[in-house]
Amino acid sequence: MALCALVCAILSQFYGASRQIEAAARPLAVEVAPAAATDDGTPAPEAGEKAEPEKLVKARQFDRVLASIFLVVFAISMFSICVDFEIRWALIALALLVIVILGLVIANIYWHTFPGMLRMLTGVTALASPQFYLAIFGIWAVLMVVSLVIVRFHYVKIESNELVVVGGFLETQKRMSTFRMNYTKEVQDVLEYYLPLVRSGRLIFTFPGEAQAIVVDNVLNIDRVIEQLDKVSSTLRVEDAHHPHD
């Protein structure tokens, strides 16, 4: 959503109606008194009254398209944050979506409901300025920086011989041997797993003799992390094979 807001801000600034509206709102250096009537006898427009140019109309339409795209991305982002969309529920939602679409097609055949629905949807228009998009991008950028700072003091570090759990700033560290360590990958949210630049999931580490497992949620690029874990595990197995009596 932050990336979409940044792109919308740039496009809206250069191709939207914001710059034209600001230019039209500036006071004119020279004011011309209105004429009493035009050549065809119709009253002339009053002083300061301006007709909306065609270029401004097209720019406002472009702003509406950007706003609609941003609202779709915003809705998807909020849905992925608020709801854990598991695979089972994803299949159920897909089946319900197909049923709803088929129902609307059948309703349109008998009652012609689509034109009225489209007219209602197109009547709802949204507009936003480049400053609004930049504000959204700035808020999410600050939140991401804060998150990156927090994870520097709360993380799990995996090496070839031990797993280190750091609980927080200046807190105690827990070290556990990776010998016979098992780990499980879980995908709790299908949307978060398939979102670009996210690909997140959960890792669960279990150890022999330990009743409590180490659970790491929201692991970004979890498939790449799994590949690194496999390399670490293979290195550990090679070292154990060379030193069977250690």
Examine residue 246 and state whether it is found in any structural domain, yes or no: no
104 is in which domain, residue-wise? 2-35+44-149
Name the residue with higher pLDDT: 11 or 93: 11
pLDDT at 10: 93
Task: Clarify whether residues 110 and 144 are in a common domain.
Answer: yes
Res. 225: pLDDT tops 80: yes
Distance (Å, whole) CA 166 – CA 155: 5
Query: How large is the average pLDDT for residues 114-130?
Result: 71
Do 94 and 70 fall into the same domain?
yes
Say if 245 falls within a structural domain: no
For the cut 80, the answer to whether the pLDDT of residue 207 exceeds it is yes
- Please say which residue of 149, 183, 210 terminates a domain: 149
Residues 139 and 185 in one domain: no
User: Please, are residues 198 and 207 in contact by the beta-carbon 8 Å criterion?
Assistant: no
Q: Is residue 68 part of a domain?
A: yes
State which of 117, 149, 181 marks the end of a domain. Answer: 149
DSSP for 57-117, written as a single string:
HHHHHHHHHHHHHHHHHHHHHHHHHH----HHHHHHHHHHHHHHHHHHHHHHHHH--HHHH
Res. 213 pLDDT band, cuts 50 70 90: confident
Looking at residue 59, what is its pLDDT? 83
How large a percentage of the chain has pLDDT more than 90? 11
Mark which of 111, 126, 149 sits at the end of a domain. Answer: 149
Task: Based on the fold, state whether residues 228 and 183 are members of the same structural domain.
Answer: yes
Does the residue 244 lie in any domain? no
Residue-level pLDDT at 49: 43
Q: What is the tens place of the pLDDT at every residue in 185-205?
A: 888 777 778 877 788 888 998
Q: Tell me: do 191 and 79 sit in the same domain.
A: no
The pLDDT value recorded for residue 170 is 59
pLDDT tens, 145-177? 998 888 888 888 887 778 888 876 556 678 887
Q: Are residues 200 and 213 in the same domain?
A: yes
At 219 the pLDDT is: 87
- Residue predicted with more confidence, 170 or 68: 68
80 burial level (CB within 10 Å; 0-12, 13-18, 19+): buried
Tell whether 145 and 234 lie within a shared domain: no
Give per-residue pLDDT as tens, 50-67. Answer: 445 677 778 888 888 899
Residue type, 71: L
Assigned domain for 205 exists? yes
- Whether 190 contacts 85, CB under 8 Å: yes
92 within a domain of the structure (yes/no): yes
Would 18 be classed as within a structural domain?
yes
User: Does residue 190 share a domain with residue 116?
Assistant: no
Instruction: Please give the pLDDT value at position 33.
Output: 47
Q: What is the mean pLDDT of residues 97-123?
A: 72
Q: Domain tally for the chain?
A: 2
Query: Are 198 and 217 found together in one domain?
Result: yes
Q: Are strands 201-206 and 214-219 parallel, antiparallel or unpaired?
A: antiparallel
In a shared domain, residues 118 and 21: yes
- Stated pTM of the model: 0.63
Query: Which pLDDT belongs to residue 218?
Result: 83
Return the pLDDT at 47.
45
CATH code, domain carrying 168? 2.30.29
CB contact at 8 A, 168 and 53? no
Residues 139 and 165 in one domain: no
- Note whether residue 232 is domain-resident: yes
Task: Mark whether 53 and 159 lie in a shared domain.
Answer: no
